[in-house]
Amino acid sequence: MAEPQVSNLLTRVRFPPPALSDASSMLSVVRTEERQRARELRAQGWSVKQIERHLGVARSSVSVWVRGVPLGEDQRRRLAARITEGRLQAAERKAANARRVRAGYQNQGRRLVDERNDSYIAGCMLYWAEGAKSRNVVKISNSDPEVLRFSRTS
């Protein structure tokens, strides 16, 4: 029977010693195939984000795997165009959402005009004509004391 080896504080030796191997042998066969496929797709001009979604792996992994894959000038132009197109699409979505929110507030204002009394309508008109248009603030700028008195009571 083999005698177990023991480490003490003076020797600071780990038993058993770590296996010596290069990093590529530590990768599983599946990861190696994914890495190779990622490099092939990148060589075809795919973006890192597209490869990530296609292979279902982390974007950071794809980035490391394809780091050394050279891109041609045409591929770089297409990727740059996709980035610009993506930004434009995001801006259009943001503007459409802002229009929907504004339309909701306008519809709420129309509903309140129908539900409330005439002084509410007059106050809205006064604000529209004389009010400061900044966010979350109601200000009326007018030198007529009757207008200012009305704005305080409505």
pLDDT higher than threshold 90 for residue 51: yes
Residue 19: per-residue pLDDT: 57
User: What confidence tier does 41 reach under pLDDT thresholds 50, 70, 90?
Assistant: very high
What confidence tier does 6 reach under pLDDT thresholds 50, 70, 90?
Answer: low
Output the CA angle 150-140-95, nearest 5 degrees.
Answer: 125
Task: Count CB atoms within 10 A of the CB of residue 78.
Answer: 15
Residues 135-140 have a mean pLDDT of 76
| Torsions phi, psi for 137 (to 5 deg) | -135, 135
Distances in Å between the Cα of 148 and the Cα atoms of 81, 119, 141 are 55, 14, 8
Mean pLDDT of the chain: 80
Question: Rounded distance, CA 40 to CA 31, Å?
Answer: 14
Using CA atoms of 54, 57, 58, 59 in order, give the dihedral in degrees to the nearest 10. Answer: -30
Q: How many angstroms separate the Cα of 97 from the Cα of each of 94, 100, 127, 139? A: 5, 5, 26, 27
Give the pLDDT confidence of 85-117 residue by residue, as tens digits: 888 899 999 999 999 999 999 899 889 888 988
User: What is the Cα–Cα distance from 145 to 29, expressed in whole angstroms?
Assistant: 84
Instruction: Decide if pLDDT at 118 tops 90.
Output: no
More confident residue, 77 or 130: 77
Element (H, E) at 38: helix 29-43
Name the E strands within the chain. Answer: none
Which range (9-23, 34-48, 112-126) has the least confidence?
A: 9-23
Residue 151 above 80 pLDDT?
Answer: no
pTM over 0.75: no
Taking CA atoms, 68 is separated from 23, 34, 59, 62, 71, in Å, by 17, 16, 15, 11, 9
Give percent of the chain with pLDDT exceeding 90: 27
